[in-house]
Amino acid sequence: MSLRITVFSDVHGNPYACQAVLKAIFDDDPSDAVVAAGDICLGGSDLAACVELLRASGVVGVYGNTEGYIFQPQQIPPDEQHRSMWHRIQPVAYWVRKQLVDDQMEWLQTLPFELRFSPTGNSKDDLLVVHANPKDVELMIYPLEIEQRKLWDQVRQPDDDPALRNALHGTTASVIAFGHFHYTFQRTWDDLLLVDVAPCSMPTIDHDPRARYTVFTWEGSDWQITRHWVDYNVEEEIAALESSDMPYKGDFIRSFM
């Protein structure tokens, strides 16, 4: 059987990126499913609009780490990076809660941890969609060491990192699609193809302002992967953030610089 799944991630409450990506996706060939891979709200100018755009378009999704922050803003994250920024993230999480009405919060709460698409009925052929990795929503999957050195002149996650191995151990799939780490790349790990589809918004690593989505197409033997970049008016989002009363909005504005 043939199967076409479109995945994007990390909208972060940016309605301009969200609308542009959805238009591009639905103007393209029809997909069997369109998936938002978490981090839908926190960080942008109009998170309620993003939720409504996804709901109206019939998009399915998984939850990300920032959904956890929204629903449990009193709980400090376990990872060092977000824990070190918690004094700035927590007020934003409380602010987000005030922007959403009950049914929007309920929709976010129904998001599962993962979605699995099986073209053959054999789980080894599946496309698995998660936010960060198959075990949790915090541990980031980095590109290979060689690419990390190009980005930062150093290695932040070794190719044989024990924590990453633990996160991937026991996962049965052909491809894992994820976001969380705001950089578009793919790599292999044993028999798994790891595909980062992010970011739709907040391009903190490569600073390419375009929104992104990835199409996974099964045509009888394996998954074909097609990347798409979508232009939109980033200045509109920056201006909307500047005029908002979101705490620490400058941190999020700088992610576009």
Asked if residue 78 belongs to a domain, the reply is: yes
Note the pLDDT tens digit of each residue in 105-120: 999 999 999 999 999 9
Mean pLDDT of all residues in 73-84: 83
pLDDT band at 78 (very low <50, low <70, confident <90, very high): confident
Instruction: Indicate whether 73 belongs to any domain.
Output: yes
Q: What's residue 75's pLDDT?
A: 87
Asked, for residue 157, whether it belongs to a domain, the answer is: no
Cα angle, residue 52 at apex, residues 134 and 136 outer, rounded to 5°: 15
Residue 251 resides in a domain: yes
Q: What is the CATH number of the domain that holds 82?
A: 3.60.21.10
Q: What confidence score (pLDDT) does residue 256 get?
A: 92
What sections of the chain are H helices per DSSP?
Answer: 15-27, 47-57, 65-71, 80-84, 86-99, 102-109, 145-152, 162-168, 234-242, 249-253
CA distance 55 to 36: 11
Phi first, then psi: what are they for 39, rounded to 5°?
55, 60
Q: What is the pLDDT of residue 257?
A: 86
Q: Is residue 187 part of a domain?
A: no
Q: What is the pLDDT of residue 80?
A: 81
- Does the residue 189 lie in any domain? no
Q: Out of 24-33, 54-63, 73-82, 138-147, which region has the weakest mean confidence (pLDDT)?
A: 73-82
Mean pLDDT for the stretch of residues 184-192: 96
Nearest CA among 55, 56, 57 for reference residue 108: 55
Q: Does the pLDDT of residue 8 top 90, yes or no?
A: yes
Is 165 part of a structural domain of the chain?
no
CA–CA separation, 82 and 80 (whole Å): 6
Total number of domains in the chain: 1
Percent above pLDDT 70 for the chain: 100
Q: What is the pLDDT of residue 235?
A: 97
* Structural domain harbouring 56: 2-130+197-256
Tens of pLDDT, residue by residue over 201-230, are 999 999 999 999 999 999 888 999 999 999
Q: What is the pTM of this model?
A: 0.96
Q: What is the pLDDT of residue 120?
A: 96
Domain assignment present for 252: yes
